Amino acid sequence: MYRCKYLAHGLYISYDCFRHCHLSIHAPEERENNFIVNYKGPNDKVDWDLVFAKKKELVEGMRKGEIPNFCKGCHWLEEFDENSPEQYLSDLDSYIDMIWLGHFNECNARCLYCHAFELLSRKSITKDYGVITLLQEMFEKKIYNLEKNPDANISFAHGEPTLLQKFNDIMELCEKYGNRNIALYTNGILCSDTVEKMLKNRKSDVNIVISLDSGSREVYKKVKFVDKFDDVCETIRRYVIAAGDRAKFSIGIKYIIIPKINDTKEEIDKFYDICVNKLGVKYLIADLEEKWFVRHNGEVPEYYKDLLRYFKKKCEDNNIRFIFFDRALVTEL
Ligand code: SF4
């Protein structure tokens, strides 16, 4: 039997539809099939019964061994035995406990690995989508259900969240309804006073990930196509100070290894030095560039495995919290 916690309770809010998750990275050609219903903003009234009926059909199918094509090969897919003590029956309940906000793609960087940017060059999605109305409805009707799962999570999934007109309102709404977990994927070019305040007051666990991907201004420019390395470092410094002893859990700085751009131990050393020794970071994250990874069918040459091992060991030897992300996570080292 198979299951996926996101198929059961995840909702990816795209700019024109709802999807089950944001994570079909292993099957890009199947991304469009990861679809629940059309949705273009609060003028489209959501038929939540239909949303949950569609989820339930797939969840039940998976329990019988029918895996949707967009899920095949995904590392979030779990297999369990029909006789195992945990039968995951709550997967059949109708509630959401993971929201990805992917309804916009405005950005102030042009990262060469970014899907949102590809979409941005075709279609800039910056309109006010009315996401506050949607979130409010989900909180009020307990569609997004903090009673079923107090660790439910809202994550920004596309574009640069701090550019959103309603960014502060979204953060304040989460705090008002007692939503503790907010994942903020930001490029750090702008430092948000609201985020800084939330890190200080600690009513919510704002978990921030900033992809710096370099240890120098020159390499940063090759990855991001903007000259903002120093601004990002300043944002990291401010967030780390605001988070205090929670920085080890709240502020993760990511390095996506991109072949031929930043794939040397020297650049990783510079990244480590600036993050840990100069900015006080206590939590680092490594990943491999997605398009390259997909082109190579997930077969990672020894050279890149060695870089990942080197990175991990350096952090472990120095008591720096370290994790592998998506592609690096599924690479066998
Ligand atoms: S198995 Fe993977 S692709 Fe399928 S719903 Fe879960 S996270 Fe998404």
Could you tell me which CATH number the domain at 93-330 has?
A: 3.20.20.70
pLDDT tens by residue, 65-107? 999 999 998 888 999 998 999 999 999 999 999 999 988 878 8
Amino acid identity, position 246: R
Nearest CA to ligand 1 atom 4: 71
- 3-state SS assignment for residue 211: strand
Report domain extents, the chain.
93-330
What's the Cα-to-Cα distance from 62 to each of 94, 200, 245, 316, rounded to whole Å?
Answer: 16, 43, 42, 38
Give the largest CA-CA distance in the chain: 57
Phi, psi of 13 (to 5 degrees): -90, 100
Return the ligand 1 atom nearest residue 7 CA.
Answer: 5
Query: Which residues, in sequence order, are CB contacts of 177 under 8 Å at separation 6+?
Result: 139, 146
Angle at Cα 153 formed by Cα 147 and Cα 157, nearest 5°? Answer: 150
C-alpha to C-alpha distance for 221 and 209, rounded to whole angstroms:
19
> Distance between CA atoms of 112 and 98, rounded to whole angstroms?
27
Ligand 1 centre to CA of 68 (Å) is 9
Decide: 2 and 78 in contact? Cβ < 8 Å. yes
Report the chain's mean pLDDT, rounded to a whole number.
91
Tens-place pLDDT, residues 246-296? 999 999 999 999 999 999 999 999 999 999 999 999 999 999 998 888 788
pTM of the prediction?
A: 0.87
CB 69, CB 47: distance < 8 Å: no
- Which residues lie with the beta carbon below 6 Å from any ligand 1 atom? 4, 6-7, 20-21, 23-24, 70-71, 74, 76-77
For residue 164, how many other CB atoms are within 10 A of its CB?
20
Best of 74, 88, 98, 294 for a ligand 1 pocket test (most atoms within 8 Å of beta carbon): 74
